[in-house]
Each structure stands twice: as C-alpha cells, then as structure tokens.
Chains A and B, each alone.
Chain A
Amino acid sequence: MIRFDAVSKNYPNGTTAVDELSLELAEGGITVLVGPSGCGKTTTLRMINRMVEPTAGTVSLRGRDIREVNAPELRRGIGYVIQHAGLFPHRTVLDNIATVPMLLGWNKKKARTRAAELLELVGLPAEMAKRYPNQLSGGQQQRVGVARALCADPPVLLMDEPFSAVDPIVRAELQAEFIRLQKELHKTIVFVTHDIDEAIKLGDNIAVFRTGGKLAQFDTPERLLAHPADDFVADFVGQDRGIRRLSFVNAAELPLRDGPVLPATAPVAQARAADEPWVLVVDEGRRPLGWASVAELADGGTLADASLTPLGHTFSLVGDSARAALDSALLSPARLAVGVDAEGAVVGVADACELSAGTTAVQAAAGEQASTEAESASSESRATVGKTSADTPGGGDR
C-alpha cells in the first residue's frame, strides 16, 4: 500500500532526519511510528503526502511513485491530523470538516451534508456545527480534526501525535473512539507517537526509530514486546514489557479452577467446611457479591448475614486480557482473580501464579505459531497476524 524504498532525507544544515528507510505498510491497518524526539517520525510521515520531499529513494502509494502526482491533488486523497488540530479559526466547525470536499469541487450543500455526518461519526452533537473552533475544548477540536481528515473518505490517514496535547482522560477516550472508528472504516493509517504505550494500544504494526532516522525494528506489538531486536528497542519499550505483553493474551485462554464459591443462602458451617481462608459469596445468578473472611464469620446463620469485603474487580472471559486478570488477582483480598462470563456469572478463580503459568503457556504456543508464519510469509501477512490480536489491547486494556 505505502512503500518506502531506501528513502533518506538530509536537510541542508547537515541533519539526517531519515536514513535509508525501507518499509512496506499494509493496507487497512494501523502502522505506528514511534521513537525518541527528533528521530524522524514527522519527516517520515510528511514524505507520504509530499510535505517533505526525500533526498534519496522513492515513496510509492498503491504501486505508484508519489512524485508522479501533483502534490495538492495527492494530499486531498490523504487525510492528515496533527497535534494541535490546526483547525481554521475563521471557519465554523461544519465548514472546517467540509474543507477537502470543497477543495475537490463538491457543491456546498453536498459537502455540508457529508460534514454533518462526520460530526456525528466522531461523536459530537449536531449543534456544534455552527460554532467556531475557539469555542471548543481541546478534545473536541481534536475530534473535529479527525472528522475533517476523514470527510472526503480518503483511503489513507496520516496522524502526527494527534492525541498528545490533551489530558490523559480525554486521551484515553479519544483512543477508544479511534479504535472503534477504525473497526468501522478500515483505513490505512500511519500514526506517529513518542508514547510506546499508545503505540502498543493502537498499532497493528509498530516501527521503532532510533535517533538519526534509522529504523530499529518493524514488528507487531506482541513481537516487539516479546523479542525486541536489540538493547535500544528493549530499553525503549520499557521495563514492564512483561506486564504489557499480558495485554495480548486473551483472558478466555487462562486456566481457572472452581474455588470456594458459595451462594449467599449457604449456612456458615458450609463455609467453614470449605477449609479456605476466604469464600466468594454469589447471588442466585452466580454473580459475585464479595469475599467473606471465614475466620470472622459469626457462628450460625447464613452467609447473607456476613459482612463482605469488596471484590476489587472481576475480569471478563469475553473481552478482557490476561493483564486485567492479573490485576484482578492482585487487588482481590483473597489474592484470587474472579473470572466472569458475559452475564457476569462466576466461571472460576485463579491466583497470580496460576495466571502467570497459564499466560506463559499461551504465549509460548502463540510464539511458535508466529515464527512459523513469519518464515513462510511476507511482511504483508505478518501484518495480518498483528491485526487480529490487536483487537485485544483495545478491548481488554482499560
């Protein structure tokens, strides 16, 4: 889809911003460019829409050298979102969104109708259409920026640190929304960030750059965490990459055991008979109510009378990752993670050791599979492997 062939960019002042980059980005996926400040991410991105011209090598889009296309025309077919949305202050929100259709010569009415659809798509109320950008919050402006980039339905979307200027809560919101949008739209997206967490959360594939504009590794998020190519990448992905890898293991694949689960109607004697320090009390639908400390139970009566310690949280076998499961174990007073099904009914429990062992087994199996596929397949199909599993962090890593 987008292909860099031995592309370099040297600035007249002697800076090498990008050095001999060869990279092929798969159609319909999110490729994240990540790396320390000044490593050439923005330069790489801007070489795709000719805002920066390479000094050597070729960039091609769908097999065509982009230098063959007139630059403004090329850009109208490529969405672009930047950090401080860069909205036009003199145009209303609706007209901002309608920018590219208007440039493409659509009539005004059609362009605005389309823009109104986009406003809804990015989750903004229709009455914002008539506002000016300075009447929006930063997060809202960023949404308008995304809507503007998508309005003419370009197949390719370039995003340069689009969420880094907003506070963490809004950022998480925008990221979740972005994942939802992409599931619907299947754009080919190149996304620049310097935040490795964001890269892992959003990327189907990640290109890690090192200072000097050199590509250090291009891989799926799991493989990047599991097999960093060198010390630089290992360092960059951070100390807790072991924990982060858990995001890619589906909680459904973890081994659970029955554990001490009792209904609230059970007599206290039955809890004592379980010979465990804690019992999990559930309602008639097996939905967890809380943990009861057996030592503190009054003699006689049922568990309904006991004062329960809150669960911390449970994890869902549909949608959550091993990371959520482990967190659930660590927060539980009984040190047991509680797995629930789609209805919220308890399926089983596991402690941190059991979860860790289960995760390792799953990862080992997945690793074998990935390496055999990698040997036999091109980078295109490797990107596909990344895509299926990248659904996990979005859903499970809350």
Chain B
Amino acid sequence: MNDDEPLIRWQWIADHTAELADYTGIHLRLGLLPVLFGLIISVPLGILCHRWRWLYPPVLTVSNIMYSVPSLALFMIFVRYTGLTEQTVMIPLTLYTLSVLVPNVVDGLASVPEPVRLAATAMGFGAVRRVIQVELPIAVPVVIAGVRVAAVSSISLVAVGQLIGQGGLGYYITRGLQLDFPTPILTAIVLIMLLALATDALLVLAQRLLTPWSRNKVTSA
C-alpha cells in the first residue's frame, strides 16, 4: 500500500454517494430476499417437521450439509444454471438460511405449551387452523430470533458474491484491492456492518410490535 495514501479519503465518499446508495440497495436486496425466501420455505417445512418428527433429522442433516459447503463452491455450481446473475447469489444464500430458520420454526412450535395446544384442540380448532391461529403466533419470538441470525449472516455473505460479479457493496472491496485504495474497502465494510445493525434493530422492533403479549411479564392481583 502507498505510504502517503490516507486510510479514508472523505472526498471520494462525497463524490460517490449516489453510486454507494445504489450498491447499498442492491446489497440489501441480495441479502434480505434470500431470508424472505428462506422463511417462505422454512415455515411450512418446519410445520411438517414438527408434525412428523421423523422428517426432522433428515431435513436438518441436509440443510446443515448445505451450510457446510463453501459459498464459492455453491456459486460455481449455480453459475452453470443461472449464469452470472443475482439469482446465482441468492439461491445459495437462501439455502444457507434454512439451517437456521428450519430449526427455529421447529423449536418455536415446540415452545407452545402443551396445555395451550390441548386447549386449542378441545375448543374445536381444526389442525390447520390451530397451527395458523395459535401455534405460529406463539412461535413468533423464537422464529424472529432465527431470522435475526439469518439476516445478519446473509447480509455479510453477499459480498462473497462479488466473485461472480454480484456482490452488492462487495464490489468496492474488490475494486479497492485491485487499485490498492483503502477508502472504498473501509466504506463498504462500515456500510455492510451498518446494514446488518439496522436490519437487526428493525427485526427487534418488529418482534415487539408482533408480540405485545410477550412483554409486561408482571403479575398483579
């Protein structure tokens, strides 16, 4: 690295705000859509695994194995089918979220107290209605805890997608390395961290709004 090059050139940031904003938007999309898709897959899959317990171990094994495959390898596999597109980044990221989300959906459903489940059945809820109206709402805190982990790790993993040219803010990291210019690298890292923090804060807020009942654990006579 060039010795008289400062760590941060504020002028560069000022010159690139619009472009940085664009890449931030792309980064968010690449990071968060997989979490949404992951959730759409995990909720029904988790319900099935909760209902038929024998299904859970194989599902868990498969999703854990996928998680252990390096992202680079997954990108290379999917490039053959989806080319150098955003999908090629999002599909592996979606698969990664499953190893966090499926167990959290299953644990969330398991957190429903047995008397509550029994009472729901005894009141005359059918099986499907019981899951939707009673069990899933009660599972929300545990599921959101999983979503927070999945979202933060997904946002940070997006940058790796730059290896196939779809890395959101990861673009600035490769550029900075190529040009031996630290400002874009640091800017991208800070922005990625801020995105992760903001997403996490929003999810905490969402949980508070969705589960007013889980607060105020006071017992008054």
List residues of chain A with CB under 8 Å of any chain B CB: 49, 51, 72-76, 78, 80, 82-92, 99-100, 103, 132-137, 140, 145, 148, 158
A85 touches B115 (CB 8 A): yes
| Distance in angstroms between the alpha carbons of A103 and B130 in the assembled complex | 11
B123 touches A51 (CB 8 A): no
Known pairs A72-B124, A80-B122, A158-B122 / 5 extra A-B pairs, C-beta < 8 Å: A76-B123, A80-B119, A82-B122, A83-B115, A148-B123
| Distance in angstroms between the alpha carbons of A85 and B118 in the assembled complex | 10
List residues of chain B with CB under 8 Å of any chain A CB: 113, 115-116, 118-126, 129, 134, 137-138, 140, 211-214, 216-221
Specify the main secondary structure of chain B where it touches its partner: helix
Candidates A78, A85, A89; contact of B138 at CB < 8 Å: A89
B213 touches A91 (CB 8 A): yes
B115 touches A82 (CB 8 A): yes
Specify the main secondary structure of chain A where it touches its partner: mixed
B124 touches A87 (CB 8 A): no
How many pairs, one residue from A and one from B, have CB atoms within 8 Å of each other in the complex? 83
| Distance in angstroms between the alpha carbons of A158 and B123 in the assembled complex | 11
The smallest C-beta distance from B152 to any residue of chain A, in angstroms, reads 26
> Would A89 and B219 be within 8 Å (CB), given that A72-B126, A75-B121 are in contact?
no
The smallest C-beta distance from B146 to any residue of chain A, in angstroms, reads 18
| Distance in angstroms between the alpha carbons of A90 and B214 in the assembled complex | 8
> Would A136 and B116 be within 8 Å (CB), given that A51-B121, A75-B122, A75-B124 are in contact?
no
A135 touches B218 (CB 8 A): yes
Instruction: Report the nearest A residue to B134, measured CB to CB.
Output: A88
> Would A86 and B126 be within 8 Å (CB), given that A75-B121, A134-B216 are in contact?
no
A86 touches B115 (CB 8 A): yes
Instruction: Report the nearest A residue to B119, measured CB to CB.
Output: A86
Candidates B123, B126, B213, B220; contact of A89 at CB < 8 Å: B213
B216 touches A137 (CB 8 A): no
B140 to chain A: which residues have CB within 8 Å?
90
The smallest C-beta distance from A128 to any residue of chain B, in angstroms, reads 10
B115 touches A84 (CB 8 A): yes
Instruction: Report the nearest B residue to A165, measured CB to CB.
Output: B115
A76 touches B124 (CB 8 A): yes
A72 to chain B: which residues have CB within 8 Å?
124-126
| Distance in angstroms between the alpha carbons of A87 and B117 in the assembled complex | 10
Most buried by A among B113, B122, B218: B122
